[in-house]
Amino acid sequence: MKYILKWLLVLLVIFIGWIGVLYSFQEKFIFPAPGNYVQHPIPRNFDWEEVNFRTSDDVLLHGWWMNVGSTETVVFFHGNATNISYYTGQLYMLKKLGKNALFFDYRGYGQSEGKIKREEDIYLDGQAAIDFLSEEKHVSPQHITLWGFSVGTGVATEIALRNPVAALILEAPFLSVPTLAHKFLHFSPPRWLFQYQLDNELKISELTLPLLILHSPDDQMVPFSHGEKLFKKAETEKQFIELTGGHNNAISKSSSLYFSTLQDFLP
């Protein structure tokens, strides 16, 4: 009996220690920010410029601003283990569609300063992008469409609730960080363990703007069922497009569908 109790105590200590690691270092798992670009920035003959802008808590962010002379602008919110240099395909597509675009890095990503220490930080970054467009580029929120990818869907959804933007695109969206964690941890940790919620499931029914959800059944990172559930919960004007390809290459596997869908959806 003592032997069993001893091993139960050892397992309990290991479990508590593991929970402590998850709680203390979860931003490193959720936001593993790469600093280096994966390829050369946009060609010089492209209609773009490097921009910097500050958040309300004085963090300097870096991004790319593409002005093709449109009245409509798309703000792109990228995924967790990438930076804006991973998404030149999306930028080229928006140029072909004749839309202005702002691609920016969250704090600690790419050439942006700072570090994400709480959930509100990444929302401050998203709001700073909207404020930059309004104050520096004279683009009103009513002419802005938000496009979030993966972790970026959590940011884009929140920013859509804080601003009267034109439309919202969610690509490979998840229900929430705690729900998604179940896929990788193979059990459901208590929600209080997560300092970061990014709860799309809670917020999706509050949206009143046009919504487009893009997701692939072949997505190996975010279950396709998450996108389906969010679509069902949304109570606004909405559209769901089933892509092909994995989590990070659906744009190349479904390029023609991507283009036609965005062409029809974007204002």
Distance CA 246, CA 203 (A): 26
pLDDT band at 147 (very low <50, low <70, confident <90, very high): very high
Look at residue 45 in the predicted model and tell me its pLDDT: 64
CATH H-level, domain 31-265: superfamily: Alpha/Beta hydrolase fold, catalytic domain (3.40.50.1820)
- Residue 161 has a pLDDT of 98
What integer pLDDT is reported at residue 10 of this predicted model? 45
Question: For the chain, which residues make up each domain, given as ranges?
Answer: 31-265
Report whether pLDDT(34) > 60. Answer: yes
User: In the prediction, which pLDDT does 151 show?
Assistant: 95
| pLDDT tens digit sequence for 56-75 | 999 999 999 999 999 999 99
Burial class (CB in 10 A: 0-12, 13-18, 19+), 8: exposed
* Residues 83-107 pLDDT 10s: 999 998 899 999 999 999 999 999 9
Query: How high is the pLDDT of residue 180?
Result: 83
Q: Cα separation of 62 and 110, whole Å?
A: 8
Kindly state the percentage of the chain with pLDDT values over 70: 80
For residue 80, is pLDDT > 80? Answer: yes
Kindly report the backbone phi and psi dihedral angles of residue 219, in degrees, each rounded to the nearest multiple of 5, phi listed first.
-65, 120
CA 227 to chain centre: 14
